[in-house]
Structure 1
Amino acid sequence: MQVWAVAFACVVAFMGIGLVDPILPAIAESLQASPVETELLFTSYLLVTGLAMLITSYISSRIGAKATLLIGLTLIIAFSLACALSGSVDAVIGFRAGWGLGNALFISTALATIVGAASGGSGAAIILYEAALGIGIAVGPLLGGLLGEVSWRGPFFGVAVLMAVAFIAIAVLLRTPGEKREPVRLSAPFRALGRPALAVLAAAALFYNIGFFVLLAFSPFPLGFGAMGIGFTFFGWGVALAITSVWVAPILTRRMPRTAVLMLILPLLAVDLLAAALMVDSPAGLVVCIVIGGMLLGIVNTVLTESVMEATDLPRSVASSSYSAVRFLGGAAAPPLAALLWHLYGAAVPYLCAAASVLIATVIIALGRRVLAPVDARELQPADEAAAVLVGDAA
């Protein structure tokens, strides 16, 4: 039961990735906010999530997994309620930042907790976790669309209620007797970026994430759909991303070196973004590009994070923390920048810039292949492969 409690909380946490997407136009209209201001909902969330990733391993290694999970859930409940009750876009932006802190604390601890609490072996626990991830990513935009049809405040209230249920379940059911804690130094994630292989991957991920979040956060505006239409569109995006991250990416990396997979899929993503630019005035064409983009993003997310785990001999929690902090900077910058470019030059330009950014990520990987040799030489264990899915998709 304690495993199911954490898995349920994971589903709700992953819903938060796409929950806001369907209500972005409604928020802009109701709060009289510009698209640039509205896109800052992603920026504040991602920026704080990324920075918080630098300290989550330090915190959880000292207070334990259960306490970290409960603190993260408490913050998400409090700040999602605050978002729902806000009367200005500035307030929602600020409260989304607090939500990002809670999400970082929760997500960074969830997989280890599920594996540690499972009685059926780590393999079964990982399958359960991956199922929770896929359901959450796919259902989030759909739930956001359904509740958003009633009011833009609906999705925020919905998250608060579901997370409150998850909090009670974990508080009552999760037990961590004899939990081993190995304190992590606060400076560890900062020092990790001095490793050349990790620095190359983090730089590539920064530019790649610009493409990711232009597709995710900007697309609701040129689509021109209502909340339900945007919800169904990104439901398809989420299903595609979950399938390729959990199943397709491991198949490819068993047949090809990881750097080769990245150098194959990243240019395809750039082509997809270019197609989105060309079809930006066709809602049907843009929907197709969004769903195909989800397929490609799922592969890159997982393979990039697998590469981070194998690039150095650092503890994997430390390596993933430092990498995530850098890549989220790209995600934080992309949404308002895309909205500004749209306002100045037209709806196609953000997608063109996103395609160029993804190509820069490809060049960084190509130039850094020499220092990335360990990435192609090692094979992940199943638990580590699941951890790659976790960090890759918890944006």
Structure 2
Amino acid sequence: MQAALMRTRIAIVGAGPAGLMLAHLLYLRGIDAVVLERRSQEYVERRVRAGVLEHPTVELLREAGVADRLDREGMPHHGLSLRFDGEDHRIALADLTGRSITVYGQQEVVKDLIAARRKTGEPLHFEVSDVAIDVDAPAVTFTDAEGKPQRLDCDFVVGCDGSHGVSRASMPAATYAHEYPFAWLGVLAKAPPSHSELIYTYHERGFALHSMRSPEITRLYLQVPPDERLDDWSDGRIWDELGRRLAASGFTLSTGPILEKSITTMRSVVTEPMRHGRLFLAGDAAHIVPPTGAKGMNLAIADVRVLAEALERYFASGSTDLLDAYSDTCLRRVWRAEHFSWWMTSMLHQAPDADAFQRRLQLSQLRYVATSTAAATSLAENYVGL
């Protein structure tokens, strides 16, 4: 069957936060785009991922007119706690930086952006398959949800389809990667948060994190070995281990039915450059960070903000200066986030081969951050977003 021909300025592969946000920013600038996604809309909207939005991310969502529900339901946080030696040590984000973070699930951002896209009536195709990128044309070929072959000619292709997507595979670039010797067992529980803020916990049994998604839903994590089996973790065992690691004076862990649980391995990956000809990468297609620093979705949003401005300049004046600078501009932020995430991860997790000397170094670093205004400010300004 001969492919049907379509034409757009920007072909966007992937309907995660990066792809959907870019499409919306381009729409606001009068630049047409088509978004292609291999998963169903239901799957994309239910996919539980990150939940911490940096200050610049929240500001951009507001500027773009897609923050109404975020402002109603998001949970602003002006600080976080480092918990070690059985005590909390608060990092006063707002006092130290004048900015804060907001807890609002990535899937909620995705829902809001899909709703905005549907409202505009601009093309958004789910359940496509056989996606292939012709970088030289440029063009994207795919099979639509009805099984019909399609060819989408365009001026530029933007790959927002993750580290295992077709976009990254179409990019002849260098990859820098680091594997961490542990994973996170994450649970979503129907239980009210046990604390008003996020708690990053250093414990001899391994790292633990207390977070939340709403006043009724808690998000919690445990450090586990990367080859751990989810079947070995009953709900009772999860709550028992969380209770041990999160124990502190005056703290009571709220428990309830576990709605979801998963194990996620931890790695750092950076692709350089983030551009090849008329193909650009954004978000997880270009870089992966361990979740400790809460940077993944925020980096994706930062990428497409830079790219939207560059594309606007190009179509308005023909100037390629911002497009040519895109990779270098984004990578400066990416490597800062990679270092911060590595630093947070190294400070808080128990490496399997760590000896007593290394553990004492970790505690020394934690105590320094907790008692030094300069060290706390460095953590805070990286955490709320540069």
TM-score (norm 2): 0.30
Higher strand share: 2
TM-score (norm 1): 0.29
RCO (CA 8 Å, sep 6+): is it higher in 1 or 2? Answer: 1
